[in-house]
Amino acid sequence: MPKHKRTAVARNLVKRRLRELVRTTLLPGLAAVAPLDLVVRAAPEAYGADLATLAADLATVLARLRTRPA
């Protein structure tokens, strides 16, 4: 059984997708938000999701972060 129940190829694919989405979408969107520590962790559903679905999920996270109290 592979580590974490996924192959290294699948884990790296999700990691690369999330890293790129955070770099291009989440970080620029957080420029106006108060400083914070943020951890992005891939849920098991991320392995079956396409890039558009992951982007939509991160957009939801960004919207929630923008509306949180300071």
Residues 53-66: what's their mean pLDDT? Answer: 93
- Give residue-wise pLDDT tens across range 10-50: 999 999 999 999 999 999 988 888 888 889 999 999 999 99
Show contacts of 64-68: CB within 8 Å, 24+ apart.
65/30, 65/33, 65/36, 65/38, 66/29, 66/32, 66/33
| Domain around 60 | 3-66
Q: Which residue has the higher pLDDT, 55 or 65?
A: 55
Angle of CA points 49, 45, 30, to nearest 5°: 75
Rounded to the nearest 5 percent, the helix, strand and coil shares of the chain are: 65, 0, 35
Which residues 6+ apart lie within 8 Å of 38 measured at CB?
A: 26, 30, 65
Give the model's pLDDT for residue 34. 82
Number of domains within the chain: 1
